[in-house]
Structure formats: structure tokens, C-alpha cells
Structure 1
Amino acid sequence: MNKTAGAILLFILFQGALSSQQKFTVHGYITESGSGETIIGANIHDVNNQSSGVSSNNYGFWSMTLTEGEYELVFTYTGYTEEHRKIVLNKNLELNVKLKSGLELEEVTISSEEIKKNVRSTEMGTQVMNTDIVKRMPALLGEVDILKTLQLLPGVSSATEGTSGLYIRGGGPDQNLVLLDEAIVYNTGHLLGFFSVFNADAIKNTKLIKGSAPAEYGGRISSVIDVQMKEGNNEYFEAEGGIGLISSRLTLQGPIAQNKSSFIISARRTYALDLAQPFIRNTNFAGTNYYFYDINTKINYRLTNRDRIYLSGYFGRDVFKFSNNDRAFGVKLPYGNATGTLRWNHEIRNDLFSNVSLIVNNYDFRLDAGQEDFSVVVKSGVKDISCKADADYYPSNKHHIKFGMRYTYHRLTPNLVSATNGEVDFVSKLETKFGHESELYFLDDWILRPGISLNTGLRFSNFIQVGPYTGRLNNYQSGEFVKSYLVPEPRIYFNVSTGPNSSVKGGMSVNSQYIHLVSNSGSTLPTDIWVPSTERVKPQLGFQYSLGYFRNLLSNEFEISVETYYKDLYNQLDYRESYVEDFSSEVEREFVSGRGRAYGLELFIARKKGRLNGWVGYTLSKTERWFSEIEKGRVFPATYDRPHDLVLVGSYRLSPSWQCSANFIYATGRAYTPIQSLFIIDGRPNVEYGPRNSARLEPYHRLDISMVYDNSSLKRSRFHHSWAFSIYNVYNRKNPFFTYTDFSSQIYSGNASARAVKVSIFTIIPSVTYNFSWSSRPKILNNESPI
């Protein structure tokens, strides 16, 4: 009995001793050595407990709460050398770490994440694209393009060849949440989508979430593309740029106050048609031109060790001018985006980090056309003003809690048309729509026990439409309440370890969308209109379920994943079959609401080490839509449905200065609506079409190659340069771009016939780009010490 009582007493004393152990927090920032750029998604763990660790957030901040003792912390980020720090934790500690770039080493990866994070994290369908990888890929006309590189991943495709609009897991381009420093980008393309608005020289990090996004993201039902701009070198001045066949670019960055404040400004402009001006100056087409430009800029200032302010902005513009002086006809079409983000980071406590942002964004389109005394002007656009607050809380190594809110004021002008013939003026418009959108979220990414992780979250979204508005029964005045929607959006994901290098993941998410793009075209064009949810237009809803197996092989040299998904879509918008554009204020009456579904399987195999690296991606999928008022509810393939999509990407480092890359793409042809019959009424041809999207274009395939010469690894110098040679569509495949109806020349003599003609645009296209960089401090190679 005494022995039993003694054992119980010892147990209680032991438990008391354990509970009395103090805990302390070690926290700090992870930055890049040589530039001071914060590193997003770096991994930190104790060398004796690799399964429990944390990642740096979007501002490089990290925090760990541990019991008192001695630890050896490991800091890793793919593409950078690993760092170890030994600490004695007997009080709260600040530990800032700089990681050295390992780009001159022969290890290259396709994901800027710690090598096993794809297995250990709860994230699914997620890729982080390093800008250095993007710059090695073969490029159309030498224009390095982040969005086109994302198209090489499984589950992602483009609308048509060459365009930057993304169709991800059965969702359209408007169903992607595209963010640039937290600001929503409504139009992602230049030159009608052939080039994206993202200048790779200004971009630090691009994260693609193809499906089930954490609760911190919302407002779209398909996917997330989160783009973070560079902050600017805070240690020394740098300049870099490039000269290509159709455009040039220049980026300047450096410290304003060393190690305290920095700036970056990056600009590019096309000039292909500028070079043609001498040849058309004395013709009827004098004044015809096209160009686009964009400017990225950002400054940041560290107020205290716990406070930092960021101000970033983007301004881009496309300008098309066409003149036919012989017919006194002219067209001018300018359109573009502008965004601005003001952010304040604050460390409330060592384990609690906050960010408050004020965001503005504007997308506008204008068409001016005229001939002699007649002129017409068409305007449309979207203006948003947002404020948001987010927090990261690290109560322990098993929990990473995020919570926050966002409010957005929307002003959408679908179309404003004015015309005059010199005597009579005409004004017709689709009503400008106004709305208030609010979001509140909470999530916990936590380790339930060794080998089992959960990410559970809940998001509430609310949209309130306000006047002025012409409703079904009433006319509403400015600011008057019209309609409100409230949608709860649960999110849950799990990770179950099946071994040291493998896991099974699954998830479910609900998403809502209150802003819609309505298009008569097969791809996103500037003439398409954005409309909000109203009493007639319900918010879109998306329910996605996913399951996958993830594994690393051969000492983590290869990464393999197989993911399946199923997505239900509700309240999808389209025009009625009989709709004819008349610019009336009653356009909402011409919308029909329907449903959609998408399901598929994605295979991804990547080699992450060595001189030869790359990936293979294959997607087997199906995307369908149906509307009760279109073809009596018949289920038809979506225009961008591609059952089979295969991508091969490879890169090989021939020497320290030469690297070659190639990619091959094969995909099922796009669906289109074929001609069924032709008949003559009053001497005019009339075409009757078959079932919607019941025919397909020929399969799409092409091979691209590139060679890059870079002298940066050969010498220690302030100035470096490189040459990028690429060939797009090496074997000159004439892939169909679109179809049109061709009538026979005998149509008016009674022998009526019509056929669909397939048009190809891109043949074999070689290009060359010269890139250069200069810094006020010579480059430090890996085997050298800092100056």
C-alpha cells in the first residue's frame, strides 16, 4: 500500500514538474542574403523533431513556442543553402536569419518549398513557381510569361493558343482569384490575352492553388493565383533589363535608407508596330499603331523592429489605333488595370503577427470609333476600394491559426454607349451597379498527432446590392438597399502520413462568387462585361472535393502525386440563345442561369535535383455545362473542355553558363458548335447550327525549345549579361486557333453550301532576347565571403 501511494505521489510530482516547465517563443524574419528580400514559405524545424515545424508567412515572419531548453533550428528553402542555428531558450528570443542563394549550385526545383513539404503539408493542388524557373522556359516572341508557365502544370489550360487566360479544373478565367500584392486583377492579359500583365522582373513569388483553397482566400469559385511583388534590394543598388524582338524592359531597385527602407520600379513596353511607322506614314493607314506598357513599383519602410509599411502599385495599358484615311475612318481602343496597396505589418506579440491593408483597383475599357460625321464611344469598367485585416497566431508548434476580415466597395459599369451623327446624339447604357462585399474567416492548420494533420476553416461572405437600380417591381435610389446574400463557406483538409516520404490528402471546400464575367466569346476579351450579383443574378457557388496520394522517391529526388477532384458549380451565367447586343439597361433579362460540373485525375512527376530536371503532367478530365433555357437543358461540353492534356517539361544544364530547356504539349481539340444546314431566305444565307459544342477541332500539340547563355557564374563582376534563344512551335504545327463559316461563291445562284474553316495563327516563331544586370556591389559567388 505504501509503495502504491509512493508511486502515485511520485507520478503527481513528476506531472507537476512537467506542467511547471516554462515555454518561450523564438521568432524573427527570414531574408535573402545580399538583397534583404523576405522569403515566403521558408521552413523552420528542430533538428530532433522534423515532423513539427513552421513556415514563414507572406512577409517572412515566423514564430515557434518551445519549452525551455537547448535546440538546433534548421532553416530551409529550396534553391537556398540550408542554415543551422543553435540556441539556448530560457527567455523569449528574436532570431533573424539570412539564407544564401544556391542558384549557382546545380540543384534546381520546380517549387520554391522545402523538399518534403509536398508530402507533409495539408495543401493540395498547390504549386509555388519560382521566377528563375519561368525565365528559363521557352517563350512566345521572347516574352517571359508567368501565366503561360502555369499552363504547363496539370489541371491548367489556356482558352486558345498563345493566350494567357487560365482554365483551371473546369473553371473559367473569371472564376480565378488573381491577386497582385493583395489587389484583385480583373484583366490579366495584354494584346487580347497573348501576354500576361505580370512582368517577371518585378515578381518574387507566384502561388497557384488549383482547387480547395484555405479559408483566407475567397471571392472566386475555381482557383487562386497569388502573386507577390519584390520589395527591392535594401543593401545595394541593382539594375536589370532586357531587349527583345517586340519589347524592352528595365528594373531599378535599391536602398532608400540601408537595411531600413528600399524601393523597386520596373517597366516594360512593346514597340513592334512602332518600327513599322516609317513604312505606313505616307499611306492611308498612317496613324495605325499598337503597343502596351506596364509599370510596377514598390517601396517599404521599417518604422521599428515590430512595424513596417509597404506601398505598392501597378499600372498597365494597351493602346490600339487604326486609321483608314481614304475612308475617313478611325478606331482607338485603350484599356488596362491600375492597382495600389498600402500595408502595415505589426508584431503584436512574439507569437502574434498582424497586417492591415488598404487596397484600390481599377479596370477600364474605352472604344472610340468614327467615320466622317458619325462617332461612337463605348466605356466599361470595374472600380474597387477594399480594406482588410489579417493575423497569424502561433500558440504552439502544433497550431498555426489565421483569422481576418475584408470589406470591398464595388462599382461596376458594364457598358456606357454614346453616339452622334453630327445632328442627333444618342446615349444608351447598362446601369452602373454598386455593391458592398464583406468577408470574415478563421482557420487552424494543426497537427492532430504525429502523422495526422488537419486544416479546418470557416469563412462567411456577404454581398449587399445597393441602388440606384431598376428592379423587377421597384426603382431604387442611390444607396438604397436592394438585395443581400450571405454564404457560409466551410473548408477542411487532412493529411495522413503513410510513411516517411508519402501521404494521403483529401479535402472539401465551399466557395461563392458575387462578381461575374459575361462573355459572347470563347476567351476573355476586354469587350466582355463584369456584372455583380443582383436580385436577378444569384451568386455563383462551387463545391469541390479532392483526394490525392503524394510520394517522394530516391532520396527525395523525384516527387510524385496523383490527385482526383470533383466540382459542382451552381448559378453559372450565359446569354440566351436569341440574345442580340443592344446596350439596353435590361441586359440582366437576357442572362440564363445554369449548372456545371468538372471532374478529373491529375498525374504529376517531377525531378527536383541534378543537372537534368523537369516534370511530366497528365490530366484526364471532363467539364460540362447545362441550362434549362438552352437546348432544353441538354448537357454539353464546355468550350474549354479538354479530356486529355499531356505536358513534358525538361531543363538541362550543359555547363555553368549554358542551359537548354524544352516543353512538349498535347491536348484534345477545343469543342465548337458545327454547322448543320444552310438555307436561303429572301436571297440571304441563313445557317442552322448543330448541338452546342458537339464537334471538336483537331488535337493541339507543339514543341518549344530554348537555349540560355548566362555569364553570371563565370566571373565576379558588377555587370552580367545573358542571351536567351527560343523557338516556339519547332515543327511548325498549324494548330487551329478559331473557325468561321465560309459560304460558297454560288450561294446566290441556288447552289448554297457552307463549311467551317479552321484558321491557324502561330507557325514556327524563333526569337532572341538580350538580358543584362548591374549592381553597385560585385556579385558574391557561393565559395566567396561577403565583402
Structure 2
Amino acid sequence: MTRKGILSIYIILFFLNITSFKAQTIQKEKQPLISVLKILEKKYNVSFSYADETIKGKILSAPDENLTLVEAIDFLKAGTNLDFEILDNRFIVVRVFDDITEPIKTQRLQEVIVSNYLTKGITQLNDGTTTIKPETFGILPGLIEPDILQTIQALPGILSVDETVSNINVRGGTHDQNLFLWDGIKMYQSGHFFGLISAFNPYTTKQVNVAKNGTRAKYGDGISSVIDMQLSNNIDNIFKAGAGFNLINADAYAKIPLSNKTELQLSTRRSITDLIVTPTYDQYFKRIFQDSDLTNTKDDSYSISQNEDFYFYDITAKFLYDITKTDRIRVHFLNVNNNLNYDEQSTINDNNESLNSKLSQQNLATGITYTRDWNERLSTTAQVYMSNYNLDATNYDILNNQRLIQENEVNDRSVKFDVNYNLNHHLKFNGGYQFSEIGVSNLEDVNNPVFRSYIKEVIRSHAIYAESSLLSNNAKTNLKFGTRFNYHQKFDLFLIEPRLSFSQRFFNDFRFEILGEFKSQTTSQIIDLQNDFLGIEKRRWILSNNNNIPIIKSKQISTGIHYNKNNLLISAESYIKKVDGITTRSQGFQNQYQFTNAIGSYQIKGIDVLINKQFNDLISTWIGYTYSKNDYTFDSLNNGESFPNNADIRHAVTLASTYTYEKIKFALGLNWHSGKPTTTTVANNEVVDGSINYEAPNSSNLKDYLRADCSATYEFDISNNTHATIGASVWNVTNKKNIINTYYTLDNQETVSKVENQSLGITPNVSFRLRF
């Protein structure tokens, strides 16, 4: 990026901040109820708990500043026709009057520490969890739709070293070390378009909970983070629907009341890339297929046809049935699918030959959940689910008369039983049991030379967990402590995993927190980089065998201090994480360790700093900085000495600003981070004994990464019941040529060639949506 370009962006950001002072002078008589509640929360040091639908559309003026809390509540009751029940000196429940005659299951909700964290629809809770609500989502730079897995990368400590949602690095971990849950069901595929788009439809997702540390005891697997995606779970007897498209895909969803006790939620999304070629598709295609069989031509007599057929789709369905006021059944279904076909053509002895290579990737999930409220304090939930992942690839090499078949299949069958007991508004307990049977198979079949390998592993695991949560009378102290006990039947192995979350408010505006956890996981991915799955999808799921593929174990602790006053948030969090049991095959080495099988560990130490200033709900500006040092240790490699992790991004900075005025939203941002580690060849001595001669592993770094993004949306009404949104975004506005990976190949055991993978170039996108 030129100095002029950088200066222009900073000028725009400065302008957005200056305009905020003018915005602060705008006073309106009436405003949305949610804005009034935020004012009262700060003034009286209370917390309102409510369903989004309860306060939706309610508009009134703020109570007089001289009123007491009780008088302000009476004012709200009169102006909204809602009931405000004061539970204690801190919590107030908001509900419609019609609900009062029905049995109410009252439970203490987690305290919201920061509302509109970065942008609208993102909140931070007092246990370290970040919650994202796509339905009320504001806007982020480069995004015109609330892509779930792109959105979480805006949070401190989370990034992707290769710009994809299929390689999300949370505090230095690999993608397979994240636990993805969709309505409680574990998912093994997270992306469309081979990682550039989230596989989960945001318009049917009610809430996403993201935890980087101090996770709940009920969560197993996922040593790096938990991304818990939840669909709407309540029947509100209101029909809702929507549809839209952008330059990559089209989608539609509907929430259909079938009766007073039943509801059906449906959504579908499909790519339009096989129907129309757009500039966005061109950039995505170049990014993903730049180092694959589709773009690597062997010689003049060999070529890949341009009639590749690529598409993706996803379908979700949820059936809700309230049997009684205290008994509920939910049925879940999800199908995520990617398909690619292309022709390999060659001329041999003046004969034209053509064979079809293909790749399909699918995650099919089904489940049923039953919940019963025994009384106002006790509730139980039972869930049974099946999650099946299948990757099927056939690759033809005409010149070598070779056909390669690769398959990877995961079958996950799980049963969960969860108990919640609220003793009072200050103390609650959670416990339960989970049984999992996970089978993973890998097939590799080559016809020339003849080779076939089929490996299947199965692990059955039992887990029990217990957790207690305590909130002090003044709501300043929050303590959550739990333990998960895992038993792996195959290895006769018992693991104990304590979890801790402690938060203490002091001086009213400061909060100190300590988070800690022990975790483990038995599933992981190996990465083969030699034309694996057509050179595109290079990850295959495997199971631990407690031998050359150990159970991965992690320990993490973090401390943080946060200041939040007058819409100014200053946050700093330091952490240290140690992970044992990783293998070189899971780390994506493309140097001297590419074909080495070794077991080791990594340790990361870091600090996340965030400064977020909001101006009158119109402008949100933030700067985030992350420093981390992430090192591998393999006893059998590099003489046992530590060396930088492949995901060791030492410095990362995010600078962004969003502006919202009535129906217009605009966002602009910069992302910069130091270059990822790489291994170069020895200068003037690149080949030794027919092999590439490398320098010390990861002893060099790529050039720094820099990207500027912008996006804008505009909402308008077509009729009283039909609302529309148009949007436009540009990813990498300055078309910066960022190198995100390099490696070397050896030709004829003599010549070394350097391969560089580039990030997405300037990528425009537009969208249009309707809501009914």
C-alpha cells in the first residue's frame, strides 16, 4: 500500500470520529427501548434481562433524570405495556403481561459486561465469553452479511494465517483444535468454497457463543476454543421469512408457525457460481486454485479444461414442539455440501484423452432434543445426535496413467444429558453426562503402481461433568468452577479437566478476571501437501491411537483487566497456553519436516489489547493489538531445540471504525500482522544429494501482511411488511499483493523452484436482501 493510500484511510477514520461530536448533540424525544434500558443500566447499576422479541418495536422517551429506580420502572411500565420485575438489587426481568399467568422458569442470566462490543450484535459476558447475535448484527469492514466465522476473526486473539474460515487460529492453535457446535451437534466441516465462506447460514442462527479460555465444563474436545452456534429455540407464533443474494450465492429462510405449539424453521443456500461468473468468483477461484491441478499445467500437450463445475449448498431445518408448558422437543437437521468436477485433457500419440476428476465434501447432521422444566429451579435436557462427515476425491493423471482415490469419513454418535439447578439468583449448578462413539476411516487407492490402504479407528468415550456458578449480592463477584471427567474406553484412560472463570468488578468501572482450563481431544486433522485431494483440500480427520497419534492435551491460564466507562472500553488480557501431543503431520510443514512423523508440543505466550470507543450509538472505533510468541518443541527434531510455530504471528494490529445513521451503515478497517514463519533454502547450495537443502526450520519470515477493507449497507421499506437491504463491500481495497505462504519444489533432482501463494486481491461484492 502506498503512503498516500494509508494516509487517505486514516483521514477517513479521523473524519468519522470528528463527526461523532456532532452526532452527540443530536437529541431525540423518543428512542428505542433498548437504548433507554442501556441508559438506566448505567445510571442505576442494574441489569435488564429480556427476549429480543419482547422489546422489539418499543419506542419511548427516557425517564426524567431525577426519578428513583422504582419510579423509572413505573414510567417504563406505563409507556411500554410491559412488566418489569425487580428480582433483587441488580437484576430486572422484562416480559409481556400475558406471560405472567403462565408458569415462569426464572433463572439468572449471565451479566453483560459490554454491549455493542466492536459493533452492534456483539456482547461480552462476565465469564469471558463473547456472544454474537446475527439478527441484530451491525457491520464490520469487508462484510456486508454476518458471516459467522469471518465475524469471530474480528475478536482479539483470533485470526486466520491464510484468510480462510477453514483455518482459524485461536491463540496459536490449528483449526481442528476448535470445537464447532451447531445446536449442540459437533461439526467437522466449517467452510464453503474450500474455506472462503462460512458453512453456517447466519440468518437462521440466533446466537453464537465464542470462548477462548475458561470454557464451561460441559464442553469436551476443542482445546483452542468453543464456537457454539444456536438456532432460535422459542415458539413465538410469528411468521418470518427472508431471501437474498450476493455475487457468490443466493439463500432463503422461513420461520413458519404450524400451530400454537409447533413451528418449523427452514433455510437453504446455494452458490450461483456454476450459473454465472462474477468478479468475486474470479478472485475466489484464483485464491483457492492457485496451487492445484486446475492451474498447474504439466507441459504443452497437457491441459485442464476450463469447463470446471463447482457449486456448494447447505440446508437446515428445525422442528419445534412444545408438548406442554414444561415439556419441549426439538428436531435438528443440517446438510452442508461442496462439489467440484473438472476434466483433465491430454494428447498422447495424436490421440485426445479426457478423464473427469472430482471432489465432494459433505457434513450431514441430525439430532433430537428433549427439555423438561420440573419446577422454577430445576430443568433437564437430553439430546441424541449423529454427525457424519464425508470427503470423496478421485484424481486422474493421464500422462502417468494413474488414478488416485482418497476418502475420509467421520461418524459421530453422541448422547448428552444435562441438568440445571438454580438454588437462587446467586447460586446455580450444572452437571451432566455425555457418551460419544466416533469412527474415522481413511482410504487411499492407487492403480499404478497398485496400492490400497484402508484404516478405520473407533473411540468410545464417557464423560461426566459438574459446575457451580456464584454471583455476589452486589453482582461484582462472579465465580464459575467446574470439572469434566473423561474416560476413554479403548485406552482405559481417565482424564480430569478442571475449568475456572473468575471475575471481580472494582471501583465500579474496572473488572479483573482470571480464566483457566485443562482440555483434551481425540480427533485431529493431518495435512498432506503432495497433490492431496487435487491439491485443494488437504486436511483429513484422524483419531488418536494413544501411540504415534496421542490424545492432544492443553493447559491454559489467562488474566485480564478491563475498564469500561462512558462508552470507552480499554481491555488487556495476558495468557499462556501449553499443548502436548501434536504431530508434525497435523501442522502443515512444507520444509525438511514435511514427510517426518514426530510427536511434540507447542507453547504460546501472549497479550491481547483492545481500545474501543463508541459515540452515541452512531460510531464505534477500535484498535486492537496482539503480541504472541508461539514455539514448537519436538524432541526428535532440530536437536530438541524449540523453533517458531507455523502459526507464530508475533504482532497483529486491527484498526477499524463503523458508522450507523438511521438506515445507513458504513465500516472501514485496516488489518496488519507480521509475516508468518517460513523456511528458506541455503543460498548457493540449494540441493544436496538430490534433496532440497534447507536453513533452520522457520528461521525466516514472510513480508508483513496488510489489508484494507470497507463495506456499506442501506435499509429501506418496500411496504409495511416488506423490508429490503442493499450492500456493497470491497475486500483488500488497495489490491495489496500479500504473500501468505511459500515453499520449494525440486525438479529432476537438480533445480529448486520457489512457489508463492498470494492472498485475495481486490474483491468486490454486492448483496440484496428482502425480509418479510
TM over 0.5: yes
Q: Say whether the 8 Å CA contact 1:563–1:603 is kept in structure 2.
A: yes
8 Å Cα contact 2:213-2:516 kept in structure 1: no
Query: Match for residue 539 of structure 2?
Result: 528
- CA drift at 1:579: 11
Q: Could you tell me whether the CA contact under 8 Å between 1:402 and 1:444 is conserved in 2?
A: yes
Q: Which of 215, 218, 241 is matched with 2:217 structurally? A: 215
Separation in structure 1 between the aligned mates of residue 50 and residue 374 of structure 2, nearest angstrom: 15
Provide the TM-score with structure 1 as the length reference: 0.76
Per the alignment, residue 645 of structure 1 pairs with 652
Q: What is the alpha-carbon root mean square deviation over aligned residues?
A: 3.8
Q: Give the length in aligned residue pairs.
A: 654
Amino acid at match of 1:170: G
TM-score (norm 2): 0.77
Q: CA deviation at 1:356?
A: 0.5
Counterpart CA distance in 2 for 1:269 and 1:374 is 33
Instruction: Give the corresponding residue for 1:290.
Output: 310
Contact in 2 for aligned 1:207/1:225 (Cα 8 Å): yes
User: 1:433: which partner in 2?
Assistant: 457
Whole-angstrom CA distance in 1 between matches of 2:651 and 2:495: 34
Cα distance, 1:329 vs structure 2: 2.8
Query: Which stretch has the larger CA shift, 162-171 or 635-644?
Result: 162-171
Q: Deviations over 1:289-335 (max 9, x none)?
A: 11111111111010000011111111011111110344323210001
The CA distance in 2 between the partners of 1:348 and 1:309, in whole Å, is 15
Distance 1:180 1:569, change over 3 A: same
Task: Decide whether the 8 Å contact of 1:330 with 1:371 is kept in 2.
Answer: no
Alignment match of 1:187 (pick from 186, 189, 193): 189
Kindly tell me: are residues 578 and 734 of structure 1, through their superposed partners in 2, closer, same or farther at Cα, counting changes over 3 Å? closer
Q: Is the 8 A contact 1:231 1:298 kept in 2?
A: no
- Match in the other structure for 1:417: 444
Q: CA deviation at 1:175?
A: 0.9
Question: How far off its partner does 1:496 sit?
Answer: 2.4
For the 8 Å contact 1:570–1:595, the answer to whether it is kept is yes
Query: How many Å separate the matches in 2 of 1:178 and 1:391?
Result: 22
- Mapping for residues 626-645 of structure 1, pairs under 5 Å: 626-645=633-652
Aligned residue for 1:32? 53
Letter in 2 for 1:729: N
Q: Deviations over 1:212-237 (max 9, x none)?
A: 21212222211111111234874232
User: 2:297: which partner in 1?
Assistant: none
Query: What is the correspondence of 1:392-541 to structure 2 with a 5 Å cutoff?
Result: 392-413=420-441, 415-420=442-447, 426-429=451-454, 431-447=455-471, 450=474, 451-465=476-490, 483-520=491-528, 526-536=537-547, 537-541=549-553
Specify the alignment match of 2:61 in structure 1. none
| Aligned 8 A contact 2:714 2:726 in 1 | yes
Matched ranges for 1:70-219 at <5 A: 74-75=92-93, 94=104, 109-110=117-118, 118=125, 121=126, 123-124=127-128, 126-132=129-135, 136-139=139-142, 144-219=146-221
1:724–1:769 CA contact under 8 A, matched in 2: yes
Contact 1:518–1:529 (CA<8 Å) still a contact in 2? yes
Q: In structure 2, how many angstroms separate the alpha carbons of the residues matched to 1:463 and 1:743?
A: 44
Residues 35 and 236 of structure 1 are in contact (CA less than 8 Å); yes or no, is this contact kept in structure 2? Answer: no
1:378 Cα offset (Å): 1.4
Residue equivalent to 1:623: 630
Q: Which residue does 2:691 correspond to in 1?
A: 686
Pick from 566, 569, 579: which aligns with 1:559? 569
What's the offset of the Cα at 1:270?
Answer: 1.2
- Tell me the CA shift for residue 239 of structure 1: 2.2
Q: Structure 2: how far apart are the matches of 1:567 and 1:576?
A: 18
Deviations 1:431-481 (A, max 9, x none): 20011011111111113665433211111011122xxxxxxxxxxxxxxxx
* Structure 1 residue aligned with 2:273: 272
Are 2:134 and 2:146, in contact at CA under 8 Å, matched by a contact in 1? no
Match among 407, 411, 425 for residue 379 of structure 1: 407
Residue pair 1:72, 1:86 contacting (<8 A) in 2 also: no
Q: Structure 2 stretches of 5 or more lacking a match? A: 1-48, 58-67, 71-84, 110-114, 283-293, 295-302, 346-351
Q: CA deviation at 1:176?
A: 0.9
Cα deviation for residue 625 of structure 1 reads: 0.9
1:731 and 2:734 correspond: yes
Distance 2:179 2:219 in 1: 8
The answer (yes or no) to whether the contact 2:686–2:693 under 8 Å persists in 1 is no
What's 1:363 paired with? 389
SS of 1:698 mapped into structure 2: coil
SS of residue matched to 1:257? coil
- Structure 2 match to 1:574: 584
Tell me how far 1:146 sits from its aligned partner.
1.3
Q: Superposition pairs for residues 191-340 of structure 1, below 5 Å? A: 191-231=193-233, 234-258=236-260, 260-275=261-276, 285=305, 287-325=307-345, 326-340=352-366
**Is contact 1:679-1:686 (8 Å) kept?**
no
Structure 1 contact 250–267 (Cα < 8 Å) conserved: yes
1:570–1:596 CA contact under 8 A, matched in 2: yes
Give distance in 1, aligned partners of 2:50 and 2:768: 35
Q: For the residues of structure 2 that align with 1:544 and 1:112, how far apart are their CA atoms?
A: 30
In the other structure, the counterpart of 2:288 is none
Distance in 2, Cα, partners of 1:559 & 1:489: 32
Report how far residue 574 of structure 1 moved. Answer: 1.6
**Aligned partners of 2:631 and 2:645 also within 8 Å:** yes
Superposed displacement of residue 492, structure 1: 2.3
The alpha carbon displacement at 1:186 in A equals 1.4
Task: Flag the 1:83–1:577 CA change in 2: closer, same or farther, 3 A.
Answer: closer
- Alignment partner of 1:664 is 2:670: yes
SS of structure 1 residue aligned to 2:647:
coil
**Residues 426/518 of structure 1: CA separation in 2 closer, same or farther (3 Å cut):** closer
Contact 2:121 2:132 in 1 (8 A): no
Match of 1:354 in 2: 380
Code of the residue aligned with 1:558 in structure 2: it is: L
Task: Give deviations 1:518-538, integer Å, cap 9, x for gaps.
Answer: 224599974422222224133
CA distance in 1, matches of 2:272, 2:472: 57
In the alignment, which residue of structure 1 is the partner of 2:46?
none
Could you tell me whether the CA contact under 8 Å between 1:134 and 1:145 is conserved in 2? Answer: no
Partner of 1:676: 682
Task: Provide the C-alpha distance between the structure 2 equivalents of 1:565 and 1:109, rounded to a whole number of angstroms.
Answer: 21
* Residue 760 (str. 1) matches residue 758 (str. 2): yes
Give CA deviations for 1:21-66 in whole Å, capped at 9, x if unaligned: xxxxxxx994624999xxxxxxxxx978xxxxxxxxxxxxxxx997
Counterpart of 1:390 (choices 402, 413, 418) is 418
The residue that corresponds to 2:705 in the other structure is 700
Change (3 A) 1:736 1:334: same
| CA distance in 1 between partners of 2:222 and 2:380 (Å) | 24
> Which structure 1 residue ranges, 5 or more long, are not aligned?
1-27, 37-45, 49-63, 76-81, 100-106, 466-482, 581-588, 775-787
The match for 2:286 is none
For residue 611 of structure 1, what is the aligned residue in structure 2? 618
Distance in 2 between residues matched to 1:679 and 1:327, nearest whole Å? 41
Matching residue's letter, 2:157: G
Q: Which amino acid aligns with 1:454?
A: L
| Aligned residue number for residue 24 of structure 1 | none
Structure showing the higher strand proportion among its residues: 1
2:617 is paired with a residue of what secondary structure? coil
Any idea what SS the aligned residue of 1:32 has?
A: helix
1:650 shift after superposition: 1.9
Q: Contact 2:50–2:95 (CA<8 Å) still a contact in 1? A: no
> Cα deviation per residue 1:48-86 (whole Å; 9 max; x = unaligned)?
8xxxxxxxxxxxxxxx9979xxx99623xxxxxx66989
SS of 2:374's partner is: strand
Change (3 A) 1:743 1:595: closer
Describe the shift of the 1:343–1:92 C-alpha distance in structure 2 as closer, same or farther (beyond 3 A): closer
